[in-house]
Amino acid sequence: MRLYLASTSPARLAVLRGAGIEPICFSPDVDEEAEVAAREAELGRALTTSELTEYLGRLKAEDVVRRHGPGTPDSPGTGEIDGLVLGGDSAFLLGGETLGKPHVPEIALARAKQHRGLSGVLHSGHWLIDCTGGAVRGAAGAVDTATVTLSADVSDAELAAYVASGEPLELAGGFAIDGLAGAFIERIEGAPSCVIGLSLPALRRLVIALGHDYTALWNRAGG
């Protein structure tokens, strides 16, 4: 059974490959800021961190299915999908504030200093759509979390060097345990893969919830 990843994230791809899964990747076309603003206006309140990550994961998966799956009578897709489509999103909750990707060095450095010596919660949202047989047969979502504590003794110079590397700019929360910041992380509580951007335990539960065997996704040597 084939897994289609609605993401171009190298980190999510690496997690899946390490778990014996070689997905087919599609780039979703979602205006995240506009979609979140519209959803919050509809609800009359801000989305929680969990709601935000699952909602964006859902939009990404649905966009890929719409364009590359069976589509709709008004907007037929290419029909090239036959399997499970996974969309995901991540955000970091620190001090009651939901943090996405910092994008610029100044914000990345400020967040790193704010996080120093504290624990934050990384939320990883997932949405899985069953398109086996070339038809949409169901969907399910899940959010997993992991608590991450940054060492209190990390110096300003170390944080500045990390930001200067460019690594944290496009990472939720501004760090990666599987990269240069791994030496700064004191403790993780939860699934390590969740911190990287995709929770393998959550994926397994979703696959089972849709009536499939998780091990059927193993299509890579060593998986």
Which residues are catalytically annotated?
A: 89
Whole-angstrom Cα distance, residue 152 to residue 53? 28
**182 within 8 A of 171, measured Cβ to Cβ:** no
The answer for residues whose C-beta is within 8 angstroms of residue 53's C-beta and 6 or more apart is: 88, 89, 90, 91, 123, 124, 125, 143
Instruction: Say how many C-beta atoms besides its own lie within 10 A of residue 43's C-beta.
Output: 10
Task: Tell whether the torsion through CA atoms of 23, 28, 32 and 38 is positive or negative.
Answer: negative
Q: What is the DSSP code (8-state) at residue 46?
A: P
**192 within 8 A of 110, measured Cβ to Cβ:** no
Pairing of strands 83-94, 2-6: parallel
Instruction: Assign 53 to helix, strand or coil.
Output: helix
